[in-house]
Chain A
Amino acid sequence: MILHNIELVDFRQFKGRQAIDCATGSPHNVSVIYGENGRGKTGIFRALMFCLYGDRSLSQDELSGEQKKEGLSLINEVTLKENIGSQVEAQVAISFSHQRKNFRIVRRVDGLMKTDGTIIQNPGGRVELQQTDENGNTQPVETDLEKITGQIQEILNSRLRDYFLFDGERIERLTRNTRERREEVRRGIRALLDLDALELANAGLKSLISQIEKEIGHKSTGELQRVYTHIDALNTKIDDLENAQELGTQELKRLEHKIYEISEMVSENEDTAAKERKRQELIKNSQDLKVEKDALKKEMVGYLNKSAQLVASQLIEQLREELEFRRHKGELPPSIRKEFVEKLLEQERCICGTSLGHDHQQERECLQEFLVKHYTPGLGSESLDLLLSLNRLSSANEGLANQFNRLLVKNKKLRDEIADLESKIKLLSDELKEGGTSVDDLIQERSRLEDDKRTLEREMDRQADEIARAQDDREDWLKRTNVLEKQQSQVDSLVARRDLTKETLAELKAIYDRFANEAKERLAEKSTEIFTRLADEGTQKDIKKISIDESYMLDVLNWTGQRRLGEISAGQRQIVSLSFIMALIQVAGNLEVALFMDTPFGRLSGVHRDHLLDTIPKMASQWILLATDTEFTEVEANALRQTNAWGKIYELVKEGEGITQIVEREVHQFTPKRKSIF
């Protein structure tokens, strides 16, 4: 973030509209705002904090809880007094650039002064932010407070702002040897280096892993595996049975062929030939009858579908008679809807146009009687349909019974005929078997083969049944598989998620360790390097190295490597802090940030000031100094001028009670009030 312009309207002691243009860019990147104590330097710092973050007080204000909530009065009191009883608005606008985009943020607060002099400041405020991108396209003005806060946080996170926008006191405080300060430094390092974000990311990944694992636990069972195993077993069984059927079919063919061959041989014998021919004929007759019987079966199926009415024929008759009786009595509803008749009566008008009023009492009564007679409770309009169905069933019943009977009789006849034929075939076979002819053996052999054939056929029927059952079974199991597979695919995707999360966590952990250590080392190294450029000889003698320990605590080591932070002077601490902050800027990277310092030199020795004035402009992108007359003397002005980085100088001039004017001076001609700090 590089500040371009700060514009104040009736803010604190800055009455009316006043502005500061900051020096930006190389080489002139230093601006000085110069003023005696009490002229409003801190007011500028407040304006910055108010405009960017909406802060109405600073940590140094040491306000009570209630005051902190309300904040300081930010509106110029003179303007308030001039407008007693009416609303007055204070405003701060800051133009800045960040990553090649330009921004202008404006924040306003209003309030009024009552006649008794009390000031009422509106707790809310309005803020707007406008952005112009790198191509010069200006976006619409954003007024949503939340979005603006988010955007500013992204540009200069409030966790970090204390390291760049600070007063000199804070700089010194940063390295005070207290637990609180050390913690602050630790937070700062972690924040700047993103270590806290990295830790949070890791914690989030860890939580996600356990969340996913819980879900996996809920969803996965060994069920699918068991189902697969079962289906596998069924597949094997079906395969085996089908193979057996195939073999059986071949065996049947072989047997039939053999039987045929023997029959041929048998028929060659004249004695038995006649008997055999007869036998074949009977077999054929029997088969014909079986075909006829099958046709009969098919015919029967049609009647069986209606057979319930045969079993319930009497019942059908009884209900039919009951409903007929009711119909006869007029209890079945007519085809005219009850609601329709009621409506006619209610409207007192028939559809033919006849009035049903008092002069047509007879027609009226006729309709009323119709209602009572024809709409019996319980008998809905369906009862008429039911009666019609029952009538149809009743009239069809006799015909159906006759057909049924005919088929049964015919079937019985066929069955008897088949049985008769089969016994004759058996008899002939036996005769052929026992005939004692030369083909005796052949016939016995054939009989044996025929037995084998029948056994095989039975076995194959059994197998076919078993195959059908196994196939049905497999069908059911496959259906279950579909359901389970859907579940399993969820589990698989969860596992993939978990694995990816785990890998990421491992990677991030490794990166964290490497990065944190590397960053710590670089930070310590860089801080020390900058420190040697900033510190005077005496300080350099006392302090050999700036260190950052395991827990990111800042310390200074003397020549023998002992920790000395508690023993160094306030001025030396300021130098250590500045070195550390400059190192942070360098190490953290991507930090295009203005260093905004209020009273930066207060505690520094002359040599330190010279070093600072020489070094910081080269390291920071922009440096804005709020300096008092006691710390910014001719000596400092000359030193700064020599750096060629000094671009702007403003003087804060008191114009009256409660009014400060910001006056721009010429850098080359500006002469501070004091020659030196001494």
Chain B
Amino acid sequence: MRDKVTIESILGQINDPAVRIIAEHSLRVARKALNMSEYSRKRFVVEEIDKIMPRALKVRANHDTT
């Protein structure tokens, strides 16, 4: 539906699969973190993004070789 602009649909259009993984994951954890205290939310986001990094890098490495 043209009226609806969802962030997911935009993130889904990111070409680079590694960037897409990080972007989608960042948004997901940020949403979760918004329910936390101001103090801990950013740290949580940083830690969670860091955790997904190896998977994204692996995807990037595979993508680069193909």
Interface size, chain A (Cβ < 8 Å): 41
Contact with A along B1-32 (1 / 0, CB 8 A): 10111111011001010110011001101110
In angstroms, Cα B27 to Cα A300, docked, is 78
Please tell me if the beta carbons of A508 and B6 are within 8 angstroms of each other in the complex: no
Cβ of A461 under 8 Å from chain B: no
- Which of A224-232, A335-343, A494-502, A571-579 lines the interface with chain B? A494-502
In angstroms, Cα B1 to Cα A64, docked, is 47
Q: State the Cβ distance, A207 to closest chain B Cβ, in Å.
A: 5
Return the contact of B6 from the options A202, A208, A589 (Cβ within 8 A).
A589
Please tell me if the beta carbons of A500 and B53 are within 8 angstroms of each other in the complex: yes
Please tell me if the beta carbons of A205 and B3 are within 8 angstroms of each other in the complex: no
In angstroms, Cα B8 to Cα A526, docked, is 21
Cβ of A159 under 8 Å from chain B: yes
In angstroms, Cα B4 to Cα A515, docked, is 11
Please tell me if the beta carbons of A503 and B19 are within 8 angstroms of each other in the complex: yes
**A201-B26, A208-B50, A500-B56 in contact; A514/B33 too (CB < 8 A)?**
no
Interface size, chain B (Cβ < 8 Å): 34
Q: Which residue of A lies closest to B18 (CB)?
A: A500
Q: Which residues of B contact A511 (CB under 8 A)?
A: 7, 10-11, 14, 23
Please tell me if the beta carbons of A515 and B5 are within 8 angstroms of each other in the complex: yes
Q: Which residue of A lies closest to B35 (CB)?
A: A153
**A200-B34, A207-B42 in contact; A504/B5 too (CB < 8 A)?**
no
Return the contact of B7 from the options A193, A202, A204 (Cβ within 8 A).
A193
Return the contact of A589 from the options B5, B16, B50, B60 (Cβ within 8 A).
B5
Cβ of A143 under 8 Å from chain B: no
Q: Which residues of B contact A518 (CB under 8 A)?
A: 5
Please tell me if the beta carbons of A526 and B3 are within 8 angstroms of each other in the complex: yes
Q: State the Cβ distance, B28 to closest chain A Cβ, in Å.
A: 9
Please tell me if the beta carbons of A201 and B30 are within 8 angstroms of each other in the complex: yes
In angstroms, Cα B49 to Cα A497, docked, is 11
Cβ of A211 under 8 Å from chain B: yes
Please tell me if the beta carbons of B23 and A197 are within 8 angstroms of each other in the complex: no
Q: Which residues of A contact B (CB under 8 A)?
A: 150, 153, 157-159, 191, 193-194, 196-198, 200-205, 207-208, 211, 493, 496-497, 500-501, 503-504, 507-508, 511, 514-515, 518-519, 522, 526, 586-590
Give the 4 A-B residue pairs with the shortest CB-CB distance, closest first.
A204-B45, A589-B4, A201-B26, A201-B30
A and B contact pairs by CB, cutoff 8 A, 15 listed: A197-B27, A197-B30, A198-B7, A200-B33, A203-B42, A204-B45, A204-B49, A500-B19, A500-B56, A508-B23, A514-B10, A515-B5, A522-B3, A586-B3, A590-B8
- Besides A194-B7, A511-B14, 17 more A-B contacts (Cβ < 8 Å) are A191-B34, A193-B7, A200-B34, A204-B42, A204-B48, A207-B46, A496-B60, A500-B60, A503-B16, A503-B19, A508-B23, A518-B5, A526-B3, A586-B3, A589-B3, A589-B5, A589-B6
